[in-house]
Copies of this chain bind each other. A is one copy, B any other.
Amino acid sequence: MIFIDYKDRRPIYEQIVDKVEELIIKGVLQPDTQMPSVRAFSVELSINPNTIQKAYAELERRGFLYSVKGKGSFVCFQDSLLEEKRIKIKEEISKNVEEAKLLHISEEELISLVRNVYQKNKGGNEV
């Protein structure tokens, strides 16, 4: 399900956090599903358990997981999380568009860029 890219400059735990988050948002991991135990997951990915622990802690902090003592970690998905992410990504896009404007990329070019991404995979991987 998850593949660690050691050549990726981002820390491993962050790669895991991002991937799990994505799977939850995509609906692949359904709410209240139990996550693999720290130990099991660490064996599966052959990485240090501490790293998984850190990833789970971060996911819990962000509100994508909740842990029950003695039972394990579970997917916790609320719409508010989606909204938060939407705001974040829109802020990032704003920042990038501003930089693009500075580089004299035209409004039209950016809009057609947006359209292209939305056309891509049309009629295919709808969830």
Contact = CB atoms under 8 A, between A and B. Distances in A.
Interface string A49-89: 00000000000010000101111001010000010011001
Interface string A80-119: 0010011001101110111111111101001101110110
A6 interface: yes
A66 to B, nearest CB: 5
A59 to B, nearest CB: 14
Contacts of A113: 90, 93-94, 97
Interface of A: 6-7, 9, 11-12, 22, 25-26, 61, 66, 68-71, 74, 76, 82, 85-86, 89-90, 92-94, 96-105, 107, 110-111, 113-115, 117-118
